[in-house]
């Protein structure tokens, strides 16, 4: 473990991301002892001229109690907030960043610098349009003091551009100022417990090794559903749409971990090399394997143009051209304002060859990884219906986390990822070439939608989305199980 002081600088300190995710995650890390008062200081930076006190009171209400520490919550919050200082300034002016550097340096000096180091983590909770000027300012005025050792890292979050060209431009601008090991591109899905479990599951279990391929698997679905619309984010959302908001990043990252080959080792570069390889094997998306939707009422939001062509729902088939996956459709589905909120990976196996039970069966074997809510993995399988009759029934082997790991606190994605940025572990962050490969897959389709050549179908809020999406999944080979629903066990 590194000693010495750590400065976490949250730029865009009073924005939504900072308030809802960054500060609460830092608070939980603090409460659990991963960052400690004696060696951490947190700086908020934004344009508005407010006091330390103002910033603290804006954040306070978002700091939820850590499980198990409810009783001392008030006190913990007070202690944590004392670590936060606020500096105001523009995002493209020397002055503010010089002030920021001064504040950080003073703190570093006060921590007896001869023993300490200068570790500076800049969290850009900002719109990407200001990434380039902010990075430039940090590079010019706020780098760690090299005589003390330590490091400077920056954390950025999507949207990284709107298409291949704009993403590459942004990468080049940041890349001129910082080296790849200093850049942490967050995709918060990579911080979810069951996403982090995917590699362990696949590569540490003999069960899965021989089955995980085109010989046994019929199709794989990666699904994200939300039961609310764009709720006040319409203006942002309309610029991007569901493919850029969810599929090109969150679901594609999941696809990588489901489909990639075994990495040489667990070193971050080895893992990311494999992710890039599988992304590069994805074939161009066919128009007839895409269904787009837009929920009725979406354009009622005053910040959304009446004639918006932006999809709030999309299903598409991705095909991976390699030895393991040729012929296995990866059905990606994401939608807002649907009938439920969940994210899952559904691996459907092929039919049993020469099946003597075929006429009695309800469905195929499936292995489902429920990312949220109610984290679980379950295997749908056919068993004899218990009792006197010699019939079959669909059942499941169920590993529900809430039941199996009752005592364990499952950390929030941001908590885990911020801890990784402090520790310097880039495995769960998106590398520049990975981002490029991801944009290469979707850019032609996105351009066709942007030009209005593909139109979203209307669907009712609270529905399953357009019916055409279910038909597409069926056409791709997915067989729905009838008369069986998995019910998460109650405690």
Which residue number is nearest to ligand BG6 in terms of Cβ? Answer: 245
Nearest to 255 by CA among 220, 208, 228, 285: 220
Query: Based on CB atoms, which residue is closest to ligand BG6, 343 or 472?
Result: 343
If the CB atoms of residues 226 and 434 are measured against ligand BG6, the closer one turns out to be 226
Give 119 or 250: the residue with its C-beta nearer to ligand BG6. 250
Cα separation, 73 vs 489, in Å, equals: 30
Nearest to 334 by CA among 429, 260, 259, 249: 249
Q: Which residues in 334-363 contact ligand BG6 (CB under 6 A)?
A: 343
- Provide, rounded to whole angstroms, the least separation between the CB of residue 188 and ligand BG6: 6
Count of positions on this chain that bind ligand BG6 (CB under 6 A): 4
Closest Cα to residue 108, out of 246, 30, 5? 5
Minimum CB separation of residue 103 from ligand BG6 in Å reads 31
Which H or E run includes 398?
A: strand 392-400
Q: How far is the CB of 211 from ligand BG6 (least distance, A)?
A: 28
Residue 295 to residues 234, 311, 335, 465, Cα–Cα distance (Å): 12, 8, 9, 8
Question: What is the C-alpha to C-alpha distance for residues 34 and 296, in angstroms, rounded to an integer?
Answer: 46
Q: Is 245 in the site for ligand BG6 (CB under 6 A)?
A: yes
Catalytic residues: 250
In whole angstroms, how close is the CB of 184 to ligand BG6 at the nearest point? Answer: 16
Give kind and range of the element (H or E) at residue 183.
strand 183-186
CA 408 – CA 60 distance, rounded (Å): 26
Pairing of strands 217-225, 342-349: antiparallel
Neighbouring C-beta atoms of residue 325, cutoff 10 Å? 22
Nearest distance, CB of residue 265 and ligand BG6, angstroms: 29
Instruction: Give least dist CB 343 to ligand BG6, A.
Output: 6
Q: CB-wise, 414 or 486, nearer to ligand BG6?
A: 414
Distances (CA, A) of 202 to 185, 278, 485: 25, 15, 25
Given phi > 0 = left and psi -120 to 50 = alpha, else beta, which region is 231?
A: left
**Nearer CB in complex with ligand BG6: 162/380:** 162
301 binds ligand BG6 (CB under 6 A): no
Binding mask 190-229 for ligand BG6 (x = CB under 6 A): ------------------------------------x---
Residue 366 lies near ligand BG6 (rule: CB under 6 A) = no
CB of 487 to ligand BG6, least distance (A): 21
Shorter beta-carbon distance to ligand BG6: residue 80 or 459: 459
DSSP string covering 255-275: HHHHHPPPPSSSSHHHHHHHH
Buried b (16+ CB within 10 A) or exposed e, 79-92: ebbebbbbbbbebe
Nearest one of 64, 142, 136 to 100, comparing CA atoms: 142
> In the complex with ligand BG6, which residue's Cβ is closer, 226 or 366?
226
Binding footprint of ligand BG6 on the chain (CB under 6 A): 188, 226, 245, 343
């Amino acid at each position: 473990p590194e000693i010495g002081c750590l400065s976490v600088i949250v730029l865009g300190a009073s924005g939504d991301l900072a308030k809802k995710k960054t500060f609460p995650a830092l608070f939980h890390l603090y409460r659990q002892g991963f960052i400690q008062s004696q060696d951490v200081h947190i700086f908020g930076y934004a344009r508005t001229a407010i006091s330390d006190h103002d910033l603290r009171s804006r954040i306070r209400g978002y700091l939820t109690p850590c499980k198990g520490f409810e009783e001392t919550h008030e006190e913990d919050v007070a202690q944590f907030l004392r670590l936060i200082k606020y500096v105001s300034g523009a995002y493209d002016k020397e002055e503010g960043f010089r002030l920021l550097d001064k504040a950080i340096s003073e703190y570093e000096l006060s921590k007896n610098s001869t023993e300490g180091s200068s570790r500076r983590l800049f969290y850009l909770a900002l719109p990407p349009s200001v990434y380039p000027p902010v990075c430039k300012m940090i590079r010019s005025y706020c780098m760690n003091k090299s005589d003390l050792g330590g490091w400077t890292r920056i954390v950025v979050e999507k949207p990284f551009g709107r298409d291949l060209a704009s993403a590459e431009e942004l990468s080049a601008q940041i890349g001129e100022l910082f080296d790849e090991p200093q850049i942490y591109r967050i995709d918060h899905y990579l911080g979810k417990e069951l996403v982090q479990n995917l590699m362990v599951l696949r590569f540490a279990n003999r069960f899965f090794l021989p089955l995980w391929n085109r010989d046994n698997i019929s199709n794989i679905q990666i699904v994200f559903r939300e039961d609310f619309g764009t709720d006040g984010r319409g203006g942002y959302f309309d610029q991007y749409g569901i493919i850029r908001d969810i599929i090109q990043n969150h679901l594609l990252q999941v696809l990588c971990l489901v489909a990639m080959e075994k990495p040489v080792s667990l070193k971050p570069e080895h893992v990311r090399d494999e992710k890039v390889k599988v992304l590069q094997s994805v074939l161009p998306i066919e128009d007839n394997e895409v269904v787009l939707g837009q929920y009725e009422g979406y354009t009622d939001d005053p910040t959304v143009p009446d004639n918006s062509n932006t999809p709030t729902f999309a299903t598409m088939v991705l095909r991976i051209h390699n030895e393991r996956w040729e012929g296995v459709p990866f059905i990606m589905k994401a939608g807002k304002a649907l009938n439920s909120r969940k994210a899952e990976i559904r691996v459907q196996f092929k039919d049993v060859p020469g099946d003597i039970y075929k006429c009695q069966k309800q469905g195929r074997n499936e292995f489902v990884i429920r990312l949220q809510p109610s984290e679980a993995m379950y295997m749908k399988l056919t068993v004899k219906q218990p009792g006197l009759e010699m019939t079959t029934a669909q059942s499941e082997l169920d590993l529900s986390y809430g039941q199996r790991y009752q005592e364990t606190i499952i950390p929030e994605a941001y908590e885990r990822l911020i801890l990784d940025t402090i520790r310097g572990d880039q495995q769960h962050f998106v590398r520049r070439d990975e981002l490029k490969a991801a944009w290469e897959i979707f850019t032609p389709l996105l351009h066709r939608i942007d030009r209005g050549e593909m139109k979203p179908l209307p669907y009712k809020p609270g529905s399953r989305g357009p019916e055409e999406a279910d038909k597409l999944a069926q056409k791709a080979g997915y067989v729905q199980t009838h008369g069986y629903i998995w019910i998460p066990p109650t405690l």
